Structure 1
Amino acid sequence: MTNNDKYENNIKCEYLVIGSGAGGAVACKYLSDLGKDVILIEDGDYHEINKFAGSISESFLYAWRNSGITPVLSKANFAFGEGRCLGGGSYVNGGLIWRTPEIVLNEWCNLFNDKTFSKDNLKKYFEIIESILDINQDEKKSNFENAESLKIKKIGEKKNIKVVKVPKSINSSRNELTLGAAGLTKNSILQKYIISSKEKGLEILTNCKAEKLFVKDDKIASVQVKMNNKIKNISAEKVILACGATQTPILMKKSFGNRYLDSQMNVHLNLRLGVKFNENIQTKKGVMFTRQLQEYMDDGVLIMPTSFNKNNFFSSLVKMHNKDLFNIEKNIDQYGSFIIQLSSLNKIMLNNFFGNTILSYKLNNQDLIKLKKYFLIFCKSLFDVGAEEILLPFKKNFIIDKNTNLIDFFDKYLTQNNIEMVSVHGMSSAKMGIKNSEKSRFDRNGKSFEFKNLYCLDSSVLPSSTIESPQGTIMAIASHILEKIS
């Protein structure tokens, strides 16, 4: 896939893309299609699409940073996940491409006092992305529904609340792939944006980590990288940061000092519920959800099924007695898995600790109130559609049934010290904004305010939380930025 050994000496190119996630992938294709001289460097390795078929735990070891779990200092049990492989987050996360919610775009238009990021202006970018990845925006073209999603659909019908069909690849008939993403969408960002660009001259250097950016005359003169355990320098006319929400600000801090490390990162909190129903739903390993409950999006809350993997499911139940685990194993076909996702008002802090970056987080009281509200609503709704028992993401007292007094239960046990959560959506840690405004590093076109040839187009540059999964937004904003760069 890559040919690192051919570079004995220092390297020169027209465009250097640092990071191969959703934003970096778009940069590779866009610039290669224009015939530009592009080098992509990626800290992690390249993995074939089906390398981790049937083994999500193995993918954690090789394709995720810190083996899948970057701990976050918090009263809650909290882990942050991000990719470290060719394809980055687009390889390890779900492959769905959501358009940015209009409520978010309106906020960004107000920030810049123009229509740069209006729904109409971004529409063309989303249409191109959806065409390349065969994303289906028409509910009538896809008949496949997995069992947990049908439960979400039923909740929507019973409560008369908004449930939408998930935009996914129209080429998928079974909606089943490694790591749980939808059809051919999974890894097709890697395939259709990065690997296909090699034919047009894209150079890919894996296991190549950007260590530091060097400045001369208000420009990035060179980038120091570590490749094959050797230090080399890459000189580029334009340098594009696409390292992700933690790695981009970390690289900027190492290069320019602490003042360039934005100490905050927007985050989506994911809280997983295991649900036993009164019927066999025969959840399949690796099946992606097909419905999402969006009634509460304006409050920053989304509810959806999540891919069900038996081994991962049981690994989260180590706190249970063997007898209870045996009963779950015996009735495993009755279990499904769901997520309540909250766009947190509080942010993850990126702290410098003796040269290392430590993540920390404190759950906002308003977020805690929201979680109690929506746990109550969703659990009631699940019992209404046949749930018999719900396993909550709590450290203790985590099992409820339809006889539980839910109001009293959540008042007592849904506390900062008792919840368990994860996140794979970090953003806005080196955000775009108005020049001289607090903590804004880049303008609305992704260009650095201080360095003439430095750009950013990953999730760190987004002005604020996207509420929905940010992958599609990253790609659309990257497309906008690349039009300006080139």
Structure 2
Amino acid sequence: MEKVLVVGSGAGGATVAKDLAEKGMDVTIFEKGNWINAAKAYQCYDNMDVGVELLKATCVGGTTLVTAGNAVRTCQKEFKNIGINIDHELLEVERELNVNTLPDSHIGEGTRNIVEAASNLGLKMEKMPKFIDPLKCIPCGQCFLGCPRHAKWSALSYLEEAENSGVKILSNTSVEKIITKNGVVQGVKTDEKEYYSDMVVLSAGAIETPRILVRSGLNAGEQLFVDTFITVGGILKDIKFNKEVSTNSLWKGIDFILTPHYTSTTAEMLKTTGYGANDILGMMVMIKDDRSGMVTETGVVKENTAHDVGLLTEGSAVAGAILETAGVDTSTIVSTPARGAHPGGTAAIGEVVDTNLETEINGLYVADASVFPSSPGSPPVLTIMALAKRLAKYLSEN
């Protein structure tokens, strides 16, 4: 039985581990973080100030525990252009996660106001596809903190299936480097011991994966993107938008998207108005940012380029017009500082890995957003999982 070590338990790691175990392989997952109840996932945020604030979580299941449950297809055309077709795998993921839009009963007043206002401006917003079970979901605005009712899919579901198929999960275990011999993978070295295997799949995310690669003698970590975003918001009394399902509709611009979004940062910025969280209506502007960042052993740098600033400005203007049409007091509209939600690009296909996601080290693969050729500018979970499924098929067949 072939032995595979998977580093990281988020969208990519959980998927490849589950699928390989179902094919009869001996799989062990290494996870730097702890096991935690999904409802308390907010305790695992370990955000970084890298020029923009980079939002991420370290725990078993990774950042999937604190996503908004958004299920959009991203970079499908870009991958096809470099010879990678994931159409079938995307369909598989969508079936397994029961991806669908939520019923009208789960669309709050704030989101309805935004959709209607956008329509009045000639902008047609669509419902956001979600991996959320409407029968379990009682809208509460907690999606980004960890779902208290377990209505939202997270990698914990796949990890449970993986364990049932014999996968071993070692939490609180950091992988330091890859063990190699004559250019062939032999296993991994953690902070405590060495583990040996036939193959290794790195799915530690676009910050930690390149660090492990560099410590193992490969070049990685350059051309980081983060899907830079800001939230534009203002006062609309008693709207109670903060209690709604997060980011429940979508408008696609050129290289940016707009979606209804509440953040406590806006509430903090507007606290001097005398209004509170129940009185804020907001929209997220997320852009396809340039691959202008870098990950090193000791730090991360990602600053906005002139192109990034231009996209954020354009998106903010559209969001502001929609909010004004929706009834927001224009004298109260503010914009949060730039943040990043989806780091990637630091071990890109054609630069660090080939089209089978294999590095120069024979038997060492990468299955996370590190391999993306460009910023998706929208949630990448489905695409990461589709790539991981494609990799699992390749490894089991070869």
2:349 paired with 1:427: no
CA contact (8 A) 1:49 1:187 kept: no
SS in 2 for 1:387: coil
CA contact (8 A) 2:9 2:203 kept: yes
Identify which of 203, 207, 221 aligns with 1:242. 203
Which string of whole-angstrom CA distances, capped at 9 and with x for unpartnered residues, describes residues 379-422 of structure 1?
A: 1221122111444236xxxxxxxxxxxxxxxxxxxxxxxxx111
Which string of whole-angstrom CA distances, capped at 9 and with x for unpartnered residues, describes residues 233-271 of structure 1?
A: 110111000000110001111121xx5123221221111
Identify which of 451, 456, 463 aligns with 2:361. 451
SS in 1 for 2:240: coil
Q: Which residue of the partner structure matches residue 412 of structure 1?
A: none
Q: Which residue of the partner structure matches residue 252 of structure 1?
A: 213
Aligned residues: 392
SS in 1 for 2:206: coil
Identify which of 52, 69, 85 aligns with 2:59. 85
2:47 paired with 1:69: yes
The residue type equivalent to 1:447 in the other structure is E
2:204 paired with 1:262: no
2:245 paired with 1:287: yes
In structure 2, the CA distance between the partners of 1:217 and 1:123, relative to structure 1 (3 Å rule), is: same
Matches within 5 A, 1:339-418: 339-350=284-295, 352=296, 356-389=297-330, 390-393=332-335
In structure 2, the CA distance between the partners of 1:169 and 1:90, relative to structure 1 (3 Å rule), is: closer
2:275 paired with 1:325: no
Distance 1:262 1:326 in 2: 43
SS in 1 for 2:198: strand
Which string of whole-angstrom CA distances, capped at 9 and with x for unpartnered residues, describes residues 404-457 of structure 1?
A: xxxxxxxxxxxxxxxx11112111110112xxxxxx111112112x21111111
Distance 1:462 1:346 in 2: 11
CA contact (8 A) 2:290 2:375 kept: no
2:393 paired with 1:476: no
Which string of whole-angstrom CA distances, capped at 9 and with x for unpartnered residues, describes residues 101-132 of structure 1?
A: xxx4333333x2x4x32xxxx33222222222
Which blocks of at least 5 consecutive residues in structure 2 are unaligned? Answer: none
In structure 2, the CA distance between the partners of 1:124 and 1:106, relative to structure 1 (3 Å rule), is: closer
TM-score w.r.t. length of structure 1: 0.75
Distance 1:470 1:135 in 2: 14
2:175 paired with 1:210: yes
TM-superposed CA distance for 1:83, in Å, is 1.8
Superposition RMSD in Å: 2.5
TM-superposed CA distance for 1:326, in Å, is 5.9
In structure 2, the CA distance between the partners of 1:485 and 1:346, relative to structure 1 (3 Å rule), is: closer
SS in 1 for 2:227: strand
Q: Which residue of the partner structure matches residue 77 of structure 2?
A: 106
In structure 2, the CA distance between the partners of 1:465 and 1:301, relative to structure 1 (3 Å rule), is: same
In structure 2, the CA distance between the partners of 1:262 and 1:346, relative to structure 1 (3 Å rule), is: closer
SS in 2 for 1:208: coil
CA contact (8 A) 2:128 2:248 kept: yes
The residue type equivalent to 2:205 in the other structure is G
- Identical amino acids, percent of aligned pairs: 22
The structure in which a higher percent of residues are strand is: 1
2:15 paired with 1:41: no
The residue type equivalent to 1:461 in the other structure is V
CA contact (8 A) 1:71 1:79 kept: yes
Distance 1:465 1:215 in 2: 31
TM-superposed CA distance for 1:186, in Å, is 5.9
CA contact (8 A) 1:177 1:183 kept: no
In structure 2, the CA distance between the partners of 1:153 and 1:468, relative to structure 1 (3 Å rule), is: same
Which string of whole-angstrom CA distances, capped at 9 and with x for unpartnered residues, describes residues 274-322 of structure 1?
A: 2212x5212244732311111x1xx21111122455xx554x42xx7xx
Which string of whole-angstrom CA distances, capped at 9 and with x for unpartnered residues, describes residues 330-389 of structure 1?
A: xx4321232111111252222x4xxx4322233222222232222222212211221114
Q: Which residue of the partner structure matches residue 158 of structure 1?
A: 120
Q: Which residue of the partner structure matches residue 94 of structure 1?
A: 68
Distance 2:24 2:273 in 1: 59
Distance 1:365 1:431 in 2: 23
Worse-superposed segment, 203-212 or 361-370: 361-370
CA contact (8 A) 1:44 1:84 kept: yes
Distance 2:67 2:3 in 1: 30
SS in 1 for 2:226: strand
CA contact (8 A) 2:258 2:284 kept: yes
In structure 2, the CA distance between the partners of 1:133 and 1:260, relative to structure 1 (3 Å rule), is: same
The residue type equivalent to 2:185 in the other structure is I
Q: Which residue of the partner structure matches residue 153 of structure 2?
A: 188
SS in 2 for 1:271: strand
Matches within 5 A, 1:127-206: 127-136=91-100, 143-169=105-131, 171-173=133-135, 174-176=138-140, 178-180=142-144, 188-206=153-171
CA contact (8 A) 2:5 2:187 kept: no
Distance 2:155 2:78 in 1: 31
Q: Which residue of the partner structure matches residue 436 of structure 1?
A: none
In structure 2, the CA distance between the partners of 1:232 and 1:33, relative to structure 1 (3 Å rule), is: same
SS in 2 for 1:86: coil
In structure 2, the CA distance between the partners of 1:191 and 1:261, relative to structure 1 (3 Å rule), is: closer
SS in 1 for 2:347: coil
2:31 paired with 1:50: no
Distance 1:187 1:480 in 2: 24
TM-superposed CA distance for 1:96, in Å, is 1.9
In structure 2, the CA distance between the partners of 1:292 and 1:183, relative to structure 1 (3 Å rule), is: farther
Distance 1:31 1:244 in 2: 20
In structure 2, the CA distance between the partners of 1:421 and 1:186, relative to structure 1 (3 Å rule), is: farther
2:259 paired with 1:304: yes
Which blocks of at least 5 consecutive residues in structure 1 are unaligned? Answer: 1-11, 53-58, 395-419, 434-439
In structure 2, the CA distance between the partners of 1:90 and 1:26, relative to structure 1 (3 Å rule), is: same
Distance 1:357 1:13 in 2: 35
Distance 1:216 1:225 in 2: 17
